[in-house]
């Protein structure tokens, strides 16, 4: 379920709540907003947003994805950013996997995340900032969305562990999203700056 809420908000008067409820059935547990054709091979983009995990969020060892980048033609998941235990991580079929930062004491606060993707066969870049601090960087490497020329950006909630098992944490989960922007620089994408 996606809905507009007036609390909590990062700035302004509204935010988006992405919520999933476990109902003991197979298939994908996801609610998402999608922006198509956000980037093409050869381009350098910064994806910024603020996310909020409720103060009652129970850390657990299942992946709860809150944003992903996917090739469009042919389509499919590529790189996912997710909460697992008390960490923000990335992983997927794009060949990048890392722990980006601890969020042990950040429940009940807005977490600002900016991700840079520069698509290039030899001089690509994949970098992440959390709350204004660069926490991970790979530059001068291959960063390409498989065989597709464009990607889409999805933001919401994906309870991937529920497809094949029961929840390790709560059976109702919400991730709140605010101040999403795609830009040509870190400064423009950083939610604190606008």
Give residue 107's pLDDT.
98
Strand order in the sheet with 2-5: 2-5, 15-21, 172-183, 44-52, 110-118, 120-130, 133-143
Q: How many domains does the chain have?
A: 1
Domain that holds residue 181: 2-193
Give residue 105's pLDDT.
97
User: What global pTM score does this model have?
Assistant: 0.96
Give residue 57's pLDDT.
97
The 3-state DSSP class for residue 191 equals helix
Give residue 77's pLDDT.
82
- In angstroms, rounded to a whole number, what is the distance separating the alpha carbons of residues 17 and 1? 8
DSSP string over 34-88: EEEEEEETT-EEEEEEEEE--TTPPP-SS-EEEEEEEEBTTB---EEEEEETTEE
Give residue 104's pLDDT.
97
Query: Residue 76: how many CA atoms within 13 Å on its side-chain side?
Result: 8
Q: With a cut of 70, which residues of the chain have pLDDT below it?
A: none
Read off the CATH number of the domain in which 42 is found: 2.60.120.200
Give residue 165's pLDDT.
86
């Amino acid at each position: 379920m996606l809905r507009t809420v007036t609390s909590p908000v990062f700035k302004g008067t509204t935010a988006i709540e992405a919520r999933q409820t476990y109902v003991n059935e197979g298939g994908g547990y996801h609610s998402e907003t999608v922006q198509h054709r956000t980037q093409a091979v050869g381009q350098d983009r910064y994806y910024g947003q603020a996310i909020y995990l409720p103060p009652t969020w129970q850390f657990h060892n299942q992946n709860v994805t809150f944003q992903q980048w996917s090739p469009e033609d042919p389509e499919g998941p590529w790189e996912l950013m997710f909460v697992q235990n008390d960490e923000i991580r990335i992983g997927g079929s794009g060949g990048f996997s890392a722990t980006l930062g601890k969020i042990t004491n950040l429940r009940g606060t807005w977490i600002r995340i900016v991700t840079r993707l520069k698509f290039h066969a030899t001089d690509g870049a994949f970098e992440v900032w959390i709350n204004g601090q660069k926490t991970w960087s790979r530059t001068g490497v291959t960063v390409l969305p498989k065989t597709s020329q464009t990607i889409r950006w999805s933001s919401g909630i994906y309870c991937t562990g529920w497809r094949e098992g029961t929840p390790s944490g709560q059976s109702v989960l919400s991730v709140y999203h605010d101040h999403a922007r795609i830009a040509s620089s870190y400064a423009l994408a950083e939610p604190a700056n606008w």
